[in-house]
Amino acid sequence: METTREKWLGAMLKIADPVIEHLSKGELHRTLPADFHEERNNYGMLEAFGRTVSGIAPWLELEGLTGRERELQEEYRAKVRRCMDFATDPKSPDYMNFEEDGQPLVDVGFVAHAIVRAPKQLYEALDARVQEHVAAALKRSRCIRPCPTNWLLFSAMREAAFYKIGLADYDMSSIDYAMRMFEVWYKGDGVYGDGAEFHWDYYNSFVIHPMYVDLVRTCAKAWDDYRALLPEVEKRASRYAQILERMIAPDGTYPIIGRSVTYRFGAFHMLAQAALEQLLPEELSPEQVRCALTAVIDRTMEAPDMFDEEGWLRPGVYGYQPELAEPYIGTGSLYYCMPVFLPLGLLPEDPFWSGADCPWSSCRVWSGAPFPIDHAL
């Protein structure tokens, strides 16, 4: 009988495979679908790769796996390293757009986040030629000025990745500016504005909390002000993860609110990261979160038309719903569903995987079971 972890792993690889397989052979440019919002084609490859690798990075970095999963991990480690080569070699047929217009900055941020999450596999294990190409490619995005929104975190994450891998010319000012602005934009009770304004959407989970937490964690090792800020940033992220868990209905559905809903279960990025990084509040057991996220994954992937005939994602929340894709959404954009799989970066023995199934918050309250009162942070 298939275990829950095996189900998650199968789902993750089913989604990632078209991107990783084609890019690892230098064939992504030729094969990536461009059947809607064709004006986004110039960004699609970097979108697809950056978003995919940011989700699978903790699993690639994990040590201690055994058996068939270890064999799969080694296979995908090798493939992703080839992907890094094809994506950043200027002579490659799949060399990506790292500097034209504004969009590449976003997905450079996702590649950088992947490197922060998996520096051994996604940088140190590369040969020197590929390391140079990766650094040079990411640096090309420095010509793009981020607007005063969550985009500040993309440039900051790029520089944090440079710091993480030991490049001497990282730009501390980009990191510091993002940190200072998000402290100004904090609204309370675990929620930030996306810029000065608050938006009812999932960008606190898609980008803001996950990147801000990892940004401060990365820099806290070297700077006292980041070290002092870290407990507060983690506490806010923990609270937001708690809110996300309460949004998951007993049937695995959740509110469809705001922008970019075609990222599907990427809406639970921060809940998945909180499980990975041991940031769950005391009220949430890891196994409870596993069951809640499994319900979301199962409900979403049961739709028969989520993928095209070649296995590529199609726009929608439940299957194919192209009307939900904003003009900035292309095929590559859809792969930001991948961060829901971050807990695969925990060993099978971790309580997240080994604990017995149990009901999550909405199951408990709507079955009439005793349930704790919620409190603001």
In order along its 377 residues, the chain shows pLDDT tens digits of 889 999 999 999 999 999 999 999 999 999 999 877 777 788 899 999 999 999 999 999 999 999 999 999 999 999 999 999 999 999 999 999 999 889 999 999 999 999 999 999 999 999 999 999 999 999 999 999 999 999 999 999 999 999 999 998 999 999 999 999 999 999 999 999 999 999 999 999 999 999 999 999 999 988 898 999 999 999 999 999 999 999 999 999 999 999 999 999 999 999 999 999 999 999 999 999 999 999 999 999 999 999 999 999 999 999 999 999 999 999 999 999 999 999 999 999 999 999 999 999 999 999 999 998 999 99
HEC profile for 144-212? CCCCCCCHHHHHHHHHHHHHHHCCCCCCHHHHHHHHHHHHHCEEECCEECCCCCCCCCCHHHHHHHHHH
Distances (CA, A) of 280 to 18, 243, 258, 351: 32, 11, 25, 12
Give the distance, in angstroms, between the CA of residue 62 and the centroid of all CA atoms in the same chain. Answer: 16
pLDDT of residue 369: 93
Answer for the pair 163, 170: CB distance below 8 angstroms, yes or no. yes
Q: At what angle do helices 172-184 and 151-165 cross, to 10 degrees?
A: 140
- Both tokens of 165, joined, read 């891998």
Q: Which helix (H) or strand (E) segment is 132 a member of? A: helix 128-139
**Cα three-residue angle 135-109-164, rounded to 5 degrees:** 55
Answer for the pair 129, 92: CB distance below 8 angstroms, yes or no. no
| Largest separation between any pair of C-alpha atoms in the chain | 62
pLDDT of residue 189: 97
User: Cα–Cα distance between 226 and 252 in angstroms, integer?
Assistant: 37
pLDDT of residue 301: 97
Q: Is 7 exposed, middle or buried (0-12, 13-18, 19+ CB in 10 A)?
A: middle
Whole-model pTM? 0.96
Q: Which helix (H) or strand (E) segment is 233 a member of? A: helix 224-246
pLDDT of residue 38: 77
User: Cα–Cα distance between 261 and 255 in angstroms, integer?
Assistant: 10
Domains and CATH numbers, the chain: 4-365 (1.50.10.10)
pLDDT of residue 1: 82
Q: Is 261 exposed, middle or buried (0-12, 13-18, 19+ CB in 10 A)?
A: buried
- Both tokens of 150, joined, read 């969550």
User: Cα–Cα distance between 77 and 54 in angstroms, integer?
Assistant: 13
Answer for the pair 241, 284: CB distance below 8 angstroms, yes or no. yes
